[in-house]
């Protein structure tokens, strides 16, 4: 009888130990599954963040951002800042900008230096607005002899000859630079309004 009691106790202990071993294994499997789920969630979140960042980078920039990122029109950017017009080209209103190159501004450097003085801000604004038309007009939208009313109030005249697009005698040297709020055409000359 004593022997049976010892055997019974040993069996219960063996069963309990086996049970602990199985629950330990189950706990380990659960922890592994949990950590896999967390890793998968983190990978999904990282992929979503990367996709969002890539989408933002691929979005067209505003006219102000396009101009700032284009080395050949840095003088125009300086002039826009001095005239306090940068914010206009960061908005959602669509514009067509005929952007003179740095060389174009250098050709009239004395005038530029004078216009950049704070007391001449209104004249500088007038000159810069003479290079801007409301709405987004791509090169293909322009026709020979077309008149474009500028933000300054006067008109620009388009002429097209031998495939070259000219704006008041200035040649478009880089057309259709897309922006989220319009289009930029780089020109090789600063066009001067009659009134400033």
159 pairs with which residues across the strands? 166
168 — alpha (psi -120 to 50), left (phi > 0) or beta?
Answer: left
* Alpha carbon of residue 37 to chain centroid: 35
Tally of domains in the chain:
2
**Enclosing domain of residue 132:** 63-187
Spatial separation of the C-alpha atoms in residues 119 and 117, rounded to whole Å:
6
Q: What is the mean pLDDT of the chain?
A: 82
Residue 26 lies in a domain: yes
pLDDT digits (tens, 9 = 90+) for 132-181: 999 999 999 999 999 999 999 999 999 999 889 999 999 999 999 999 99
Residue 196 lies in a domain: no
Distances from the Cα of 47 to the Cαs of 44, 52, 56, 57, 78, in angstroms? 5, 9, 14, 15, 39
Same domain? 142 vs 114? yes
Same domain? 34 vs 13? yes
Q: What percent of the chain has pLDDT over 90?
A: 61
pLDDT above 60 (res 4): no
CA atoms within 13 A on the CB side of 163: 1
Residue 192 lies in a domain: no
104: CB partners within 8 A, 6+ apart: 170, 187, 188, 189, 190
Q: In a 10 Å sphere around its CB, with 0-12 CB exposed, 13-18 middle and 19+ buried, how is residue 66 labelled?
A: buried
CATH number for the domain harbouring residue 161:
2.30.180.10
Instruction: Return the pLDDT at 48.
Output: 55
Helix (H) or strand (E) run with residue 90 in it: none
Spatial separation of the C-alpha atoms in residues 144 and 157, rounded to whole Å:
8
């Amino acid at each position: 009888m004593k022997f049976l009691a010892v055997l019974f106790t040993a069996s219960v202990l063996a069963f309990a130990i086996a049970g602990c071993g199985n629950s330990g294994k189950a706990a380990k499997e659960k922890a592994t599954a949990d950590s896999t789920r967390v890793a998968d969630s983190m990978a999904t979140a990282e992929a979503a963040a990367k996709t969002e960042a890539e989408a933002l980078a691929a979005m067209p920039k505003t006219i102000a951002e396009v101009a700032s990122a284009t080395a050949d029109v840095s003088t125009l950017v300086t002039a826009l800042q001095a005239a306090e017009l940068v914010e206009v080209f960061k908005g959602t209103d669509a514009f067509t900008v005929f952007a003179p190159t740095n060389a174009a501004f250098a050709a009239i450097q004395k005038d530029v230096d004078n216009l950049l003085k704070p007391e001449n801000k209104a004249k500088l604004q007038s000159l810069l607005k003479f290079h801007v038309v409301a709405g987004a007009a791509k090169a293909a939208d322009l026709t020979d002899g077309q008149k474009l009313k500028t933000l300054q109030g006067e008109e620009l005249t388009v002429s097209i000859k031998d495939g070259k697009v000219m704006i008041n005698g200035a040649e478009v040297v880089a057309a259709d630079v897309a922006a989220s709020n319009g289009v930029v055409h780089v020109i090789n000359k600063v066009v001067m309004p009659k009134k400033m």
